[in-house]
Amino acid sequence: MVPARRPIDDPEFFERPAPPGRSRESAIVLDAEGRFWDHGEPVTHRGMQDAFSTWIRRHPRDGRYVLCNGYDWTYFRVDDVPFFVRGVGGTPERPTLLLSDQTEEPLDPERLRLGARDAVYAWIKGGTEEARFSPAAQLGLAPFLVEAPGSGVELSVAGVRRRLAPREGARLAAASSRT
């Protein structure tokens, strides 16, 4: 059986105008804590929050964030990062990041950075996107923290020890690696 063709399968999908009387711009916002808002009100329906989280992608022409369900799409605003680490899974030898879009990626200490107020961030999706750890996910890093020589702590995963670098350095490094 041949799978049904969806509108997103058309190469011109992102070039189509909005449906009559509607706009491609929305009032949907993803805040810095990973909560969706619409017209200033929180999106409280858990299924809608989960759906929005799985629909995040970049517009192929202008790079802006869109919510796309395969049948339609709209722009939305991202206040900090588009993805969030909800937990740490896997095994002690091969830990993984459980992401807000319901995907899982290896925990790579080289891709972690420390942001404002000690928030941990990770480069994901092949280094093209950034995710912020939820407080619960940061607690999930506890088994991988070791005392560093001198003072402070380091992350130790599969024998690799690393002190978390500041987030700003990660942004510059990632931006230069994409050009």
**What pLDDT, in 10s, does the model give residues 80-126?**
999 999 999 999 889 999 999 999 999 999 999 999 988 999 999 99
Hey, what's the torsion of the CAs at 114, 116, 119, 120, to 10 degrees?
-20
- Do 103 and 133 have their domain in common? yes
Please report where in the chains the tokens 């912020």 appear, as a residue.
132
- Do 103 and 143 have their domain in common? yes
Domain-located, residue 174: no
Query: Strand ranges (DSSP E) for 49-137?
Result: 56-58, 65-68, 73-78, 83-90, 95-99, 104-106, 112-114, 120-124, 129-133
- Do 87 and 158 have their domain in common? yes
Domain-located, residue 158: yes
pTM: 0.86
- Do 12 and 66 have their domain in common? yes
Domain range for 94: 83-165
Pick from 78, 105, 128: which residue ends a domain? 78
Task: Indicate which CATH number applies to the domain containing 53.
Answer: 3.10.540.10
Does residue 130 contact residue 120 with C-beta atoms inside 8 Å?
no
Residue-wise pLDDT for 138-178, tens only, equals 999 999 999 888 877 889 998 888 998 898 744 433 443 33
Please report where in the chains the tokens 């996107």 appear, as a residue.
129
What is the pLDDT at residue 179? 37
Conformational region of residue 6, where left means phi above 0, alpha means psi within -120 to 50, and beta covers everything else: beta
Domain-located, residue 176: no
- Do 56 and 89 have their domain in common? no
Q: How many domains does one find in the chain?
A: 2
- Do 42 and 112 have their domain in common? no
